[in-house]
């Protein structure tokens, strides 16, 4: 198969993702993101990485209502009005760093921000607030704090640049949160990108309870025996794509104990609550109601082909609801982390649904 572009998916409600019109942007290996926090109700802080974008001298275009994380500085400007924005949401028990290969490319044409979901990474891990409404509210707060929504919401006053909706992209569990966010945003979201997740009803597909599923995905003890063992396991998934960004992402997912072992950095209560939220997700009702354009990238399927079948059913449901076709491609030879394995294909999906830099806000549909 073509590793870069995958296999095209067509059928009712589906349109093959065509990456050919877009020359893959170069990966900016020098860029370093700036870290910021936004404060939610209950003094819960949500962390995000701002990778900057075109027309920016440095990273850190965040909105003036954001609070700098350690090492960050308070920004003084909003994003340029002619640049589209992209919000990236990581998967379960991962962090914003999982998106680094994509962010380094997207910043060539868009302002790009990657968030840590509550309970993950450098965000706070409260005992509550893991329902779909709050998770979407967290994501929207990051978009507002990072300036992605600033022009769209404030464009009415004299002299303000015109705004446009932005793109939300998610991976795995993050794709579910992205779908909830796109639904909540309505026409303020131009595009939704689902990276190997977001279209499957896991309770119905697996027949498992949340606790059973958590037990099934738990890391084996030998992988957690040391940091070296953990990094070796992660690099072994695909040695060709293992680099400093992948190591940083892997290290951000665990903490070392005094005995030299590692354990997941996410608190057990936050992991259980996040999976509990995942078990409430009903793509059949959420995705047909999303106004934005949708692109979907699927990794290898199970033997029964249930993942691709669920994607086809979702696309058909959107078509029946009068929504546009889902731009889709399948990568049957690759694992779940498509941002690592085929970042150019993920970038192409984002560009497919992103508003063009020279179009007004009405052009993004």
Encode pLDDT of 25-48 as tens digits. 999 999 999 999 999 999 999 999
Q: What is the pLDDT of residue 149?
A: 80
**Architecture of the domain spanning 7-356:** 3-Layer(aba) Sandwich (3.40)
Average pLDDT of span 231-259: 97
pLDDT digits (tens, 9 = 90+) for 170-184: 999 999 999 999 999
Q: Which residues contact 111 (CB under 8 A, 6 or more apart)?
A: 52, 53, 54, 56, 61, 79, 80, 83, 84, 85, 86, 146, 147, 148
More confident residue, 61 or 131: 131
Of 180, 262, 257, 279, the residue nearest 221 (C-alpha):
262
Q: What is the pLDDT of residue 42?
A: 94
Q: Specify whether the CB–CB gap between 93 and 272 falls below 8 A.
A: no
**pLDDT category of residue 255 using cuts at 50, 70 and 90:** very high
Q: Residue 162 pLDDT > 80, yes or no?
A: no
Q: What is the pLDDT of residue 156?
A: 40
Q: What is the pLDDT of residue 364?
A: 36
**pLDDT category of residue 24 using cuts at 50, 70 and 90:** confident
Q: What is the reported pTM?
A: 0.90
**pLDDT category of residue 361 using cuts at 50, 70 and 90:** very low
């Amino acid at each position: 198969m073509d590793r870069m572009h995958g296999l095209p998916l067509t059928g009712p409600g589906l349109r093959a993702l065509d990456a050919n019109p877009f020359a893959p942007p170069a990966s900016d290996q020098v860029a370093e993101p700036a870290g910021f926090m936004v404060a939610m109700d209950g003094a819960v802080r949500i962390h995000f990485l701002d990778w900057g974008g075109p027309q920016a001298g440095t990273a850190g275009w965040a909105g003036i209502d954001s609070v700098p994380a350690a090492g960050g500085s308070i920004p003084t400007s909003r994003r340029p009005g002619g640049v589209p924005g992209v919000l990236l949401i990581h998967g379960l028990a991962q962090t914003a760093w999982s998106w680094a290969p994509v962010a380094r490319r997207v910043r060539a044409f868009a302002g790009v921000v990657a968030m840590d979901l509550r309970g993950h990474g450098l965000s706070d891990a409260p005992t509550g607030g893991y329902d779909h409404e709050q998770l979407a509210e967290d994501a929207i707060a990051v978009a507002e704090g990072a300036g992605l929504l600033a022009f769209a919401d404030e464009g009415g006053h004299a002299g303000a640049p015109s705004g446009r909706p932005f793109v939300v992209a998610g991976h795995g569990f993050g794709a579910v949160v992205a779908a909830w966010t796109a639904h909540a945003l309505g026409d303020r979201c131009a595009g939704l990108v689902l990276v190997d997740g977001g279209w499957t009803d896991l309770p119905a597909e697996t027949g498992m309870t949340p606790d059973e599923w958590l037990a099934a995905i738990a890391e084996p003890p030998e992988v957690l025996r040391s940091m070296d063992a953990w990094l070796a396991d992660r690099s072994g998934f695909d040695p060709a794509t293992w680099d400093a960004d992948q190591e940083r992402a892997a290290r951000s997912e665990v903490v070392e104990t005094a005995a030299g072992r590692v354990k997941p950095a996410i608190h057990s209560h936050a992991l259980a609550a996040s999976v509990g939220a995942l078990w409430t997700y009903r793509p059949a009702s959420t995705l047909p109601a999303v106004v934005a354009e949708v692109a979907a990238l699927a990794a290898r399927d199970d033997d029964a082909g249930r993942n691709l079948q669920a994607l086809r059913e979702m696309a058909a449901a959107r078509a029946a609801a009068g929504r546009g076709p889902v731009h889709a491609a399948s990568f049957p030879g690759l694992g779940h982390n498509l941002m690592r394995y085929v970042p150019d294909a993920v970038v192409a999906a984002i560009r497919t649904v992103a508003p063009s830099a020279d179009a007004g806000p009405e052009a993004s549909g």
